[in-house]
A = this chain, B = another copy of it.
């Protein structure tokens, strides 16, 4: 019975991959850099997006945000984005490509330069579901401790960027930055890692520069940095 379930899940994942590839083609054709933000609950995805959208200022950006319940995050983000769509998943622990496709209905991608997908707060399930994104970004908060990358390897293994958030709290914790970096590198030696604080602004410039460079690559411009 377990084997049969695994085969079903495999087929669901394959169907997701197909749809994700279609989405990726549409994003690329429209010149939209799509970023999938993943982290445990409360690591600071929404706060980072507020600051990021403010930094991008006049650049047109939109957000699809996933949660089991509530419209809280969409309400927080609406003042800063071209548009925001909240997906409520009920009991589902991740977003899937079909949910993103449904959230995009009636929207003109060519009007955007950036699309941020804020995944359900979860360091396990979102790792398995391609959403057609160009870049997978994983956030860890300093308050979660240094060993989380090694404890949740699949999501780090497939990440394009790791963000260490809430750095302003380091003085009040026994957090060892080198131990964290080592934990990331053991799982994914190539992935770059930025330390930032949405509250003090530390690292935000470097993060926004990374986004701009990724979009420049996507649309065939020379990256700015």
- Residues of A at under 8 Å CB distance from B? 1-2, 4-5, 8-9, 11-12, 40-42, 67-70, 72, 91, 93, 120-125, 127-128, 140-141, 143-145, 147-148, 150-154, 166, 168-169, 172-173
Question: Given A70-B151, A122-B123, A123-B121, are A5 and B9 also a contact pair (CB < 8 Å)?
Answer: yes
Shortest distance between the CB of A25 and any CB in chain B (Å)? 24
Number of copies: 2
CB-contact partner of A124 in B2, B91, B154, B166, under 8 A: B91
A168: chain B residues within 8 A (beta carbon): 172
Cα separation A166 to B172 with both chains bound (whole Å): 11
- Cβ of A17 to closest chain B Cβ, rounded Å: 15
Q: Which of A12, A93, A169, A173 has the most CB of B within 10 A?
A: A93
